[in-house]
Amino acid sequence: MATIRPAASDSAKSFLRRVGATIGLLILLGIVASACSTRVDAAHVGIRVKLAGSNRGVDDIPQVTGWVFYNPLTEQIIQFPISVQNVVWTKDPHEGSPRDESITFASLEGANINCDIGLAFQIEPKQAPHIYLKFQKNDLMVLAAGYVRNAVREAFSIEASQLPVQEIYGSGKGKLVASVQKRLQDQLGKDGFVIDQITINQLRLPENIAASINRSLEATQQAVQAENRVRQVKAEAEQAITQARGQAEAARERARGEADARLITAKAEARANLILRVSTSPVVLQYRALERWNGKLPVMNGGGALPLLTFDVSKIAPLTPDEEKLLKEMLAEDAEKSKDDKPGDSGGSENKPDEKKSPAPTPPTTPPQ
């Protein structure tokens, strides 16, 4: 009896062969794709280098960050960092390199100055192919240890030779750093280096020069202190002079016030005396005598009449011309004061032209009998 096999087995084998071929092709394509592409990391640029053909060399256009496809048989992608790089050249073996990488330069006087330098720089992305083509290196730390360090040392030597050591050690340090940074930017900027910051972390001077500068600074400080003391003494002296002038002025004002008071008192007494002489009469004198009598009679009066005081006013001397003049002046002054003391009287004479002023009374030349 004959056995008949189904035709489906041949079709299944054919399908499996096609699937296997497809998978193998995909694997081959994946291997080829991975070999023909690379990923440029962040803070880097890709530099395409052509290894064969008439255009061999470095492509002038850098590749951006991300996946880049290339022919590994004829091309190569170099990753070049463009982030900020920090480097320190110091004498301290625990910072930076274990070797002494400090920089020494000379001042205007020829004094050797040793210092620790800090530098922060980065690469202009468009200039990355040029830098790689010139130095054939993509490690910026290697470039900083060689080319950049030599440029920094030369810039310090040129700029420091124009400044005295005391200025470099003092207020001129900032000026030196600024001039060095400008020189480095002009020199290294042509190659695509961007100098972000340069600092002098520590300055070291020879002992004799440092001691001399310290003595000079101490003398300067003492001079400033002496000048401040002179200013203080001068200010205190001016204050004392001003105070003495004030006291003298106050004494003069007190003396002037006392003199005016005495003068006013004397004028008042003189006026009273003149008025008393003018107004003296026998009746007034007897009235004053009676006013002061205590009412007691004398014990012995000789049996006569009651004694009373009598005065002969004719014996009183008349007023002199000077006394008459002084009396007139005082009466005129009293009249003027009484006129000024009247409220609302200012300008009254001008508003009343018909009003007649009564003349001041003329004192008698001789006392009344």
> Do both 99 and 189 map to the same domain?
yes
Domain ranges, residue 43:
35-81
Cβ atoms of 362 and 303 closer than 8 Å: no
**Global model pTM greater than 0.85:** no
**Which pLDDT does position 221 carry in this prediction?**
81
Q: Give CA separation, 165 vs 90, 117, 176, 224, 233, in Å.
A: 20, 17, 11, 22, 36
- In this prediction, residue 317 carries a pLDDT of 61
Q: 313: Cβ–Cβ under 8 A, 6 or more apart, which residues?
A: 280, 281, 282, 285, 367, 368, 369
Q: What is the mean pLDDT of residues 121-145?
A: 88
Helix, strand or coil for residue 311? coil
Average pLDDT, the chain: 77
Q: Which H or E run contains 58?
A: strand 57-58
Helices (H), the chain: 8-35, 128-135, 140-143, 149-160, 165-169, 173-188, 207-278, 282-292, 321-341, 348-351
Q: Are residues 152 and 248 in the same domain?
A: no
**Same-domain status, 201 and 212:** no
The DSSP annotation for 243-278 comes to: HHHHHHHHHHHHHHHHHHHHHHHHHHHHHHHHHHHH
At residue 176 the predicted structure's pLDDT band, cuts being 50, 70 and 90, is: very high
Domain identity same for 65 and 95: no
The sign one gets for the Cα dihedral 78, 84, 89, 90 is negative
Lowest-confidence region among 158-167, 170-179, 230-239, 353-362 = 353-362
The pLDDT value given to residue 222: 83
Alpha-carbon span 330 to 335, nearest angstrom: 9
Question: Are both 97 and 183 inside the same structural domain?
Answer: yes
Residues 112 and 181 placed together within one structural domain of the fold? yes
pLDDT at 46 over 80: yes
Whether residue 104 is found in the same domain as residue 214 = no
**pLDDT tens figures, 309-327:** 555 556 666 667 777 777 7
Number of domains in the chain: 4
What value does the mean pLDDT take over residues 212-231?
A: 82
In a domain, 148, yes or no: yes
The pLDDT of 49-72, averaged and rounded, is 67
Question: Position of tokens 């002046």?
Answer: 329
